[in-house]
Amino acid sequence: MTAVDPDFSAPVTAASSGRTSTLRDVAGSYVALMKPRIIELLLLTTVPVMFLAQQGVPPLGLVVWTVVGGTLSAGSANALNCVVDADIDQLMRRTQRRPLPRHRVSTRNALIFGLFLGVLSTLWLWALVNPLSALLALAANVFYVVGYTMILKRRTSQNIVWGGAAGCFPALIGWTAVTNELAWAPVVLFLVVFFWTPPHFWALAMRYREDYSAAGVPMLPSVASSKDVAKQIVIYSWVMVATSLLLWPIAPTGWFYPLAALALGGAFLVEAHALKARSLDSESLAVIKPMRLFHWSNAYLALLFVAAAVDPFLR
């Protein structure tokens, strides 16, 4: 998360802060458009799947080409998301320090940058990985920008449920980068991320529900009570854990992955039910503590995918 500007109404610019933009500042602004922290999480669901698909260590060059292509593709989607959401980003404390609300990058330049990254990523993956992976990355990009950002986000409280599917594609891309074909194993991991996304993002949205209300975005925590949101989080968490166990017979995996999935899933469910219990007593965020589940959800997903990658070495 980025720090919140203490002056909610006045975006910070280089000129207003009394300093001149340097090349480093400009480069930093364009990198910020790509949302590096989101990309890190996406890559954590790409590379481990490559190990699972290879049943060992995939070629280093292939991993590098896939990671670079995936970074460019995700960066493109995130930059274009910033362009579309520039109007609401300046209304939300969580996002007002992004480059467009701060006027560090013009809308035109951000649009060109996002489109350039999208074209480059598609060509890169097509030439250095394979066409199937390139097309999957392109589909994820289009779905995130058009399906989620432009259509779903401002129209339905279920926006992140369906729009979050874009973040599931790295599991498919990691698999196809190695095998050049789809299979049931990456589909299961796709679904794990699909069911993981609502608990993960709704916990964050509970923390910033006033931001979404101010921006007119019907994110579930901004239009429903914390108790109702917590109930939905528990339901999705149970489905997510059950889905994660399907990889055991489908992949198939050895003993390590199912044990790790059970342990990690059990810990996730404990935290989800604890969030629900706290929400029954109060609407106060200080009592509910939704960020506990948010931070744990990041660790859960990373550790689960690492377990899938390590499993072939322990058979």
> All domains of the chain, ordered by start, with CATH?
24-180 (1.10.357.140), 183-315 (1.20.120)
Average pLDDT in the 164-193 region? 97
- How confident is residue 286, by pLDDT bands cut at 50, 70 and 90? confident
Does residue 282 surpass a pLDDT of 60? yes
Q: What is the pLDDT of residue 1?
A: 30
Q: What is the pLDDT of residue 5?
A: 33
Q: What is the pLDDT of residue 171?
A: 97
What b/e string do you get for 126-146 counting C-beta neighbours within 10 Å, with b at 16 or more? bebbbebbbebbbebbebbbe
Average pLDDT in the 260-278 region? 97
Alpha helices in the chain (DSSP H): 23-33, 36-44, 47-54, 60-84, 86-89, 107-128, 131-142, 159-163, 169-179, 184-207, 209-215, 220-223, 226-245, 247-250, 256-281, 285-288, 290-310
Q: What is the pLDDT of residue 8?
A: 32
Q: How distant is the alpha carbon of residue 301 from its chain centre?
A: 11
Does residue 11 surpass a pLDDT of 50? no
C-alpha separations of 302 from 51, 196, 260, 307, 310 in Å? 14, 12, 12, 9, 12
pTM: 0.90
Q: What is the pLDDT of residue 136?
A: 98
Q: How many Å apart are CA 174 and CA 245, to the nearest integer?
A: 20
- How confident is residue 21, by pLDDT bands cut at 50, 70 and 90? low
